[in-house]
Amino acid sequence: MSIPVDIIQGQESAFPKEEYAHRQALAREGLAAAGLDALVVTGPENIFYLTGQQTPGYYTFQALILPADGDPVFLIRQLEYFNFIANTFISDAVVYQDGEDPLGLLVKLIESRGLASKRIAIDKRGWFLPIAVYEALQARLGTIGDGAGVIEKFRAIKSPLEVEKLAKLRPMSMKACAPVWRQCASARLKTISSPP
């Protein structure tokens, strides 16, 4: 699908393109260390970490295919496509319409990338991976490895850009939370001073 001229790719991204490229490189190192050729990422937290994609539409299927070699490709619902373009720098996306079978498209995508006979994994612990989805992929592709933990260990270590953003947000969050903390402390003191 082509990008509309009035939408600049990545214009609403939380980080620059280089940050995501670095994260994807780290994830590829994790894939190599785990002996995997590709990872199908369905968890929104890992998708955000690797691409910047964020959406309230997590109730619909979305997946990032991250090969050990080559560019990632995203499978996304058409309604989310413009949001995807604005949030990410991923240039390759396959869009599905409501009523289409996204799992069938995912399998075709994996096959078209020459990954069907390779060692593919998916995070089996993911909250956004229903058992039926996993079983359907396994039925169509054979053995699917467990990619749990491949990305998370890298997410735990903050990059200089992440640390910088967190430092900027700290005063704002402290200011926003201070009234609540005072209210909780006041309620606690009242409880302590007047036992039941």
pLDDT at 22: 97
CA dihedral sign, ordered 73, 53, 107, 29: positive
Q: What is the pTM of this model?
A: 0.84
- Ranges of the chain whose pLDDT falls below 50: none
pLDDT at 176: 80
pLDDT at 167: 85
